[in-house]
Structure 1
Amino acid sequence: MTTSQGIVIHAWAQPDAALAQAQVLAALGASDLADQVRVRLSATAQGSTLQLWLSAEQTARWAPGFDTLGLAHTLGLDVWHSAADVRREVVVAMLMGPVAFEFPSLAELVSAISIRCYIVQAARKTNLAFHTSQAERPEDCWRYDEDRGFVIRAGASLIDALTKATQPEVSGTLYSFSCYRASEYVIVLGIAQELAQCNPPLYQQLQTLWQHRPIRSGEFHEVFLREQGSMEAPLPPRYYVPGDRTWFRNPDGVSAEASGFEGSWVMYMGGGEFTNFWKRDQPYTLEQKCLEIYHWRHGLHLDAEGEERIDEDKVAVLVAKTLQNPAEVARIQALMQRYREPRGVYTAAGGCIDTTREFARWVRPGTADLVLPAP
């Protein structure tokens, strides 16, 4: 049985475990959890290592099977309207982590939680116009470079540019780009907001870089993100921390050939909800996402140019019809809530649940492992 590993802080100076626990929980605004949080101090060559984790009994009570999708409801949190409640869900979910969240300092832990909260805030406000082949940005702060893609204009604020590109309530316009790129923008926005507070020189370096070239795709993952879980040692399928990025795979090899429908990149916003970048007021539950992706195969068709497309209106009708049949819903969920198979592999055994979660690297002066490349 998987047990909680929680949070690990290296190079800890406080020699008393009880005082160390009190200091960390106070910094996290979670002093009331002292009776439920276990603590261990271990001596290493580099100094003491502090580990804090939620007791097995409390984890089983609040998130049986590490299912954190109902955590906000169980704890009575209003994560849709309260920033403090979002933070609370982040802290509790991390304390019950089946793989330890490791940090070189308490300050890095505090920044990691802040970044997750910024990401959730940005994700809830992000709304895009769906298009698989077009891309647009606000022209007052972005320009298109034929060789490098969209970069911010000299003198423009990176935070403002990302906000305008993704949040129509600020820009007044819906812009078109992919869910993958949108997830990158939301993550960078959260990181940039924290850097502006805790590490202004690195923020300035990031802004200057984006004036020359964007960081995207595989390089984005390497520069900005840490990853937990693997195909060999997957995370529990319903374990998510607000601010996580994950991928729901389309396990149907035929419809996965349609551009933009290989799968869906989403951010977990807490409260059991994942982003819907095309209809932000209709976020997905895991079950809804699985139903939609399942029915992509039934919306496949060829357009006038002979390109494979998915009729999303037809998919929506089929999802609504399926929801009227509980037995069919259960059958589809049993198929789709399996772990995904490796890229390029499609068999009847594969589902759409990823084995990993991605989240931001360390950002504090002196301990940051977010190393920016040359422009």
Structure 2
Amino acid sequence: MSMENKSIVKDLSLAPDGHLKIDWVKNHMPVLNSVENYFKDTQPFKGLNVTISLHLEAKTAYLAKVVQSGGANVTICGSNPLSTQDDVAAALVEDGVTVYAKYNPSQEEYKDFLIKSLETKPDLIIDDGGDLVTALHSERPDLRVNVRGGCEETTTGVIRNRALEKTGNLAFSMVAVNDAQCKYLFDNRYGTGQSVFDGIMRTTNLIMAGKTVVVVGYGWCGKGVAMRAKGLGAKVVVTEVDNIKAIEAHMDGFTVLPMIEAAKVGDVFITVTGNYKVINKDHLQNMKDGALLANAGHFDVEISKRGLDEISVSKRTVRANIEEYKTNDGRRLYLLGEGRLVNLTAADGHPAEIMDMTFALQALSLQYINEHYKELKPQVLNVPHAVDERVAELKLQSEGIVIDTLTEEQTKYLSSWEV
């Protein structure tokens, strides 16, 4: 449905349910509440156009409203075809945000929504996975005329931004929010760990205890997934290509195997690498009957869907978000959420309390870019340490936790080379 403010959403009548969802998460995001009050007072984005591409669900909607509260004209689109919640999108339209998103659009619609969101000629952007930045550097460089810079949410997007920077083609600064301590230590680890199994278990209605869960990749997301699998009673196998991470997984108590061997023993496979075909046709041919395949990386490329097609004689949907592939030797392999982010295609994403910190980092980093863009060269930037520290401080305050501070004597000791 096309609205007067040019939004394109599925159905505006869904807005009441969307408002309820947004109100619920707002009540559980005290750090972002503080940022919203600060932005209302200071108006850091007054009159500016801000374009956001994120998984469009309730927590993201609240971030959009927080940026809007700082005076911005906000436009938002989804960053994944299966993660948009239509009721939330409708609620944002009622709140004055321009929205180009609906659940499960065609590939052409998805791309069109992305371009439409950029046709506002944004001053600032928030990206998830690098699609906005890529479009501004390839298909529509004319739309970056006003762009001062922006923020990137996830590992995949930071990798793409750094690739642009390395070739000298990055046209503006991007803050790697994914690399902030208050992001990867909590969002990537605790958020991914919980939300992945939320998606798998609510979709399959199966138990994890006693199963062998293969975690493909042992970065911060992989660490979180392995930790939660262990807590649910699963036997955990980790596959890695990095020697140091492999040793870490071993010393954390997990079995470490090459993927071709892990394929033979796994009941549940979860990819968290951000890379291409980490489960390929050869691996799929070695899996046992009934194996579940789930991806928690940004794009649907980690599990080879072409490989599944090539070894299968039939495919059918057996439950919502579960496709059964019947192989030529009679085995059944189950792909969850079309191989897209299982925690968002089959669930509601990370818990609100976790995204509270991440989205506070996004909002405050966007303010930093806006205040300093004239003096910054086009580059991928770290989140300023002061912003990371401020978000942690606000989170502790919201939890009622008080910590110690260094005395003047201790500070002097730590800054001296003399005993």
Verify same fold: TM over 0.5: no
Which structure ranks higher in relative contact order (CA pairs < 8 Å, sequence separation ≥ 6)? 1
TM-score by length of 2: 0.30
> Higher helix proportion, which one?
2
